[in-house]
């Protein structure tokens, strides 16, 4: 093995590709060679680096320096100053003004443990970090033992609803039938959420390993990853990863002579938020409009083409290899007693260091913002945070010390949802924000049931009126009444969701709405 004194990690994603990362890497390589540094400095093309900078972003280890928006023209200065003389180039650093060193807490990472460190397109690098050891172990386990281990670990779904994963599997595993399926919900459409994209871009093999273990546990021989059509890079990386698995004999017929067969296939979505709902997703897979189905029967009993089907979120499955490798007890070291494990967050908005992080369940919002996102951006004050996207809640500073886990948030009728945190400064209008959210619901309602189809339009009309200053105080009550009616009568979670942002916005920022209404 070769040792390098410095590693330059380059995030390859849509944004950096647009900014010409290929040409940048070529120039950087040439310049390092010209300076005679090619044996000392390693360039690694990797996934998400953990901070959301503009253009091409780099992280330099062991210096722990982050650069953003670097261009081909900057290469000479970077090589000369930083890589030769060890003086980081201040003007290119990501938010050099904040004096904040981001905390990457690699010690408590499960899902993102390889993200931004390994080359996501190389199966060998994943194997080198202990990858597919859990799959090897699972192949020798009894299916019910895998289910029990996941059950004991306390893992709950990471897509929003928080249903216990092991329990879900235990409904499907004992069913005796010809065909069962595993479907991965990678149709990430919740506004402000892209953790699944980053998980797939950063470490696609970990997701595949999770799928394999799930399939073995419930006895499915066919798995589909239903992924958004817009996620081109994730699609390409997953395709490559699946191909590598077939070449290495990790997928296919009679895997490692265990007698177990498994195929994984990618299915590309066509753009509909409602397809994130598991039964709508199944309808879409079957070639129909993505209208949700009546439950029960739940997909675990009767799903894709009438067969028992497990539908799990990307992040949920990416947790599974760790549980099998380290056991339920090892997994429960993370998080709180009632809500074990970690959660992947994307922190956006007016914070100093917007980025991707993975933190123990039960960490407070204040800690997340201050310690992982560098606090508020200089010159801004905290006003509100939108947690969990459009189907989420708007929290005020009153709730900054709430523990972020599935149970604690429930007490405030809030949900952890998808892990998207959008921090807003004091100048942001909550009325505007809610308007934008309700416009989204109106657009995405699938039209199957009347409460959601008509209700989402009425909500939009009302918020429009309020936004224009033509609303009355009665309209605020009406907004809540319609949303509550939708919650009680809508067919699926989409129509049941608008009440969350509306209620939390009115609870926490009622004065702001009143100031806009006519007396």
What span, in angstroms and rounded, lies between the C-alpha atoms of 329 and 309?
28
Give whichever of 243 and 329 is closer to other proteins, judged by the CB atom: 243
Please identify which residue in 119, 397, 444, 512 interacts with other proteins, judged by CB under 8 A: 444
Give whichever of 338 and 426 is closer to other proteins, judged by the CB atom: 426
Please identify which residue in 230, 371, 484, 507 interacts with other proteins, judged by CB under 8 A: 230
Please identify which residue in 118, 264, 446, 502 interacts with other proteins, judged by CB under 8 A: 446
Instruction: Report the nearest approach of other proteins to the CB of residue 325 (Å).
Output: 29
Answer yes or no whether residue 228 interacts with other proteins by CB under 8 A. Answer: yes
Instruction: Report the nearest approach of other proteins to the CB of residue 198 (Å).
Output: 9
Answer yes or no whether residue 380 interacts with other proteins by CB under 8 A. Answer: no
Answer yes or no whether residue 358 interacts with other proteins by CB under 8 A. Answer: no
Answer yes or no whether residue 495 interacts with other proteins by CB under 8 A. Answer: no
| Helices 204-218, 195-202: crossing angle, 10 deg rounding | 100
Q: Which of residues 269-298 bind other proteins (CB under 8 A)?
A: 269-273, 284-290
Answer yes or no whether residue 197 interacts with other proteins by CB under 8 A. Answer: yes
The site map against other proteins for 117-156 (x = CB under 8 A) is ----------------------------------------
What span, in angstroms and rounded, lies between the C-alpha atoms of 237 and 211?
16
Give whichever of 328 and 423 is closer to other proteins, judged by the CB atom: 423
> What backbone torsions phi and psi does residue 238 show, to the nearest 5 degrees?
-65, -40
Omega before 296 within 30 of 0, i.e. cis = yes
What span, in angstroms and rounded, lies between the C-alpha atoms of 303 and 146?
22
DSSP 368: I
- For 24, the token pair is 């940048």
Please identify which residue in 194, 334, 353, 491 interacts with other proteins, judged by CB under 8 A: 194
Answer yes or no whether residue 265 interacts with other proteins by CB under 8 A. Answer: no
CB 395 within 8 A of CB 430: no
222-227 and 393-396 beta bridge pairing? unpaired
342-349 and 355-360 beta bridge pairing? antiparallel
What span, in angstroms and rounded, lies between the C-alpha atoms of 327 and 329?
5
| Helices 204-218, 143-153: crossing angle, 10 deg rounding | 120
Answer yes or no whether residue 104 interacts with other proteins by CB under 8 A. Answer: no
Beta-bridge partners for 351: 376
Beta-bridge partners for 360: 342
Instruction: Report the nearest approach of other proteins to the CB of residue 55 (Å).
Output: 8
Please identify which residue in 424, 476, 479, 505 interacts with other proteins, judged by CB under 8 A: 424
Q: Tell which residue, 458, 403, 431, 420, has the closest CA to residue 315.
A: 420
What span, in angstroms and rounded, lies between the C-alpha atoms of 429 and 273?
25
Give whichever of 354 and 417 is closer to other proteins, judged by the CB atom: 354
Instruction: Report the nearest approach of other proteins to the CB of residue 286 (Å).
Output: 5
Give whichever of 230 and 507 is closer to other proteins, judged by the CB atom: 230
The burial of 18, by beta-carbon neighbours within 10 Å (0-12 exposed, 13-18 middle, 19 or more buried), is given as exposed
CB 50 within 8 A of CB 40: no
> What backbone torsions phi and psi does residue 367 show, to the nearest 5 degrees?
-65, -45
Give whichever of 131 and 308 is closer to other proteins, judged by the CB atom: 308
Give whichever of 23 and 270 is closer to other proteins, judged by the CB atom: 270
What span, in angstroms and rounded, lies between the C-alpha atoms of 360 and 343?
6
User: In this chain, which stretch among 310-318, 324-332, 342-350, 485-493 interacts with other proteins, using CB under 8 A?
Assistant: 342-350
Answer yes or no whether residue 243 interacts with other proteins by CB under 8 A. Answer: no
Instruction: Report the nearest approach of other proteins to the CB of residue 49 (Å).
Output: 11
Answer yes or no whether residue 239 interacts with other proteins by CB under 8 A. Answer: no
- For 267, the token pair is 């299915």
User: In this chain, which stretch among 80-88, 100-108, 141-149, 425-433 interacts with other proteins, using CB under 8 A?
Assistant: 425-433
Instruction: Report the nearest approach of other proteins to the CB of residue 229 (Å).
Output: 6
Give whichever of 287 and 337 is closer to other proteins, judged by the CB atom: 287
Give whichever of 323 and 505 is closer to other proteins, judged by the CB atom: 505
Q: Tell which residue, 209, 12, 44, has the closest CA to residue 118.
A: 44
> What backbone torsions phi and psi does residue 223 show, to the nearest 5 degrees?
-130, 140
With CB under 8 A as the rule, give the number of residues binding other proteins: 55
Instruction: Report the nearest approach of other proteins to the CB of residue 79 (Å).
Output: 26
Please identify which residue in 21, 147, 211, 386 interacts with other proteins, judged by CB under 8 A: 386
Radius of gyration in angstroms for the set of CA atoms belonging to the chain, rounded to a whole number = 24
Answer yes or no whether residue 372 interacts with other proteins by CB under 8 A. Answer: no
DSSP 110: S
Answer yes or no whether residue 381 interacts with other proteins by CB under 8 A. Answer: no
Q: Tell which residue, 139, 209, 138, 224, has the closest CA to residue 179.
A: 224
Give the interface with other proteins as residue ranges (CB under 8 A). 14-15, 17-18, 52, 54-55, 188-194, 197, 228-232, 267-273, 284-290, 346, 348-349, 354-355, 386, 389-390, 420, 422, 424, 428, 432-433, 436-437, 439-440, 443-444, 446
């Amino acid at each position: 093995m070769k040792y390098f004194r410095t590693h330059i990690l380059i995030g390859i994603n849509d944004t950096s590709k647009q900014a010409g990362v290929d040409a940048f890497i070529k120039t950087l390589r040439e310049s390092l060679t010209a300076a005679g540094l090619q044996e000392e400095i390693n360039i690694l093309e990797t996934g998400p680096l953990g901070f959301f900078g503009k253009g091409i972003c780099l992280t330099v280890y062991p210096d722990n320096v982050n650069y953003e928006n670097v261009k081909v023209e900057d290469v000479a200065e970077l090589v000369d100053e930083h890589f030769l003389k060890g003086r980081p180039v201040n003007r290119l650093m990501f938010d050099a003004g904040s004096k904040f060193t981001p905390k990457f807490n690699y010690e408590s990472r499960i899902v993102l443990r390889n993200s931004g460190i390994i080359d996501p397109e190389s199966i060998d690098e994943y194997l080198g970090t202990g990858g597919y050891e859990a799959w090897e172990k699972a192949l020798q386990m009894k299916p019910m033992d895998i289910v029990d281990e996941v059950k004991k670990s306390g893992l709950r779904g990471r897509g929003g609803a928080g249903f216990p994963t092991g329990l879900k599997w235990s409904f499907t595993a004992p069913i005796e039938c010809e065909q069962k399926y595993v479907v991965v919900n990678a149709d990430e459409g919740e506004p402000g959420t892209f953790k699944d994209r980053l998980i797939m871009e950063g470490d696609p093999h970990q997701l595949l390993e999770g799928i394999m273990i799930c399939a073995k546990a419930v006895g499915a021989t066919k798995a589909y990853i239903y992924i958004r059509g817009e996620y081109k890079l994730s699609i390409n990386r997953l395709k490559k990863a699946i191909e590598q698995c077939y070449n290495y004999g990790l997928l296919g017929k009679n895997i490692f002579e265990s007698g177990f067969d498994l195929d994984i296939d990618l299915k590309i979505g066509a753009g509909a938020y409602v397809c994130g709902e598991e039964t709508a997703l199944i309808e879409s897979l079957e070639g129909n409009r993505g209208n949700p189905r009546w439950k029960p029967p739940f997909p675990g009993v009767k799903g894709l083409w009438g067969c028992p089907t497990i539908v799990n979120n990307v992040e949920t499955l990416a947790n599974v290899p760790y549980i099998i490798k380290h056991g339920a007890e090892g997994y429960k070291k993370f998080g709180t007693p009632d809500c074990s494990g970690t959660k992947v967050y994307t922190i956006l908005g007016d914070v100093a260091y917007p980025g991707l992080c993975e933190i123990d369940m039960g960490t407070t919002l204040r800690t997340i913002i201050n310690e992982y996102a560098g606090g508020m951006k200089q010159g801004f004050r905290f006003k509100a945070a939108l947690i969990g996207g459009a189907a989420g809640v708007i929290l005020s500073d009153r709730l900054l010390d709430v523990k972020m886990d599935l149970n604690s948030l429930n007490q405030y009728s809030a949900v952890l949802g998808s892990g998207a945190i959008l921090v807003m400064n004091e100048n942001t209008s909550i009325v505007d924000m809610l308007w934008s959210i309700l416009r989204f619901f109106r657009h995405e309602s699938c039209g199957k049931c009347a409460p959601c189809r008509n209700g989402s339009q009425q909500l939009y009309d009302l918020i429009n009126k309020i936004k224009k200053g033509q609303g009355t105080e009665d309209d605020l009550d009406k907004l809540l009444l319609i949303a509550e009616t939708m919650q009680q009568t809508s067919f699926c979670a989409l129509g049941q969701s608008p009440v969350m942002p509306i209620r939390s916005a009115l609870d926490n920022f009622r004065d702001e709405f009143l100031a806009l209404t006519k007396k």
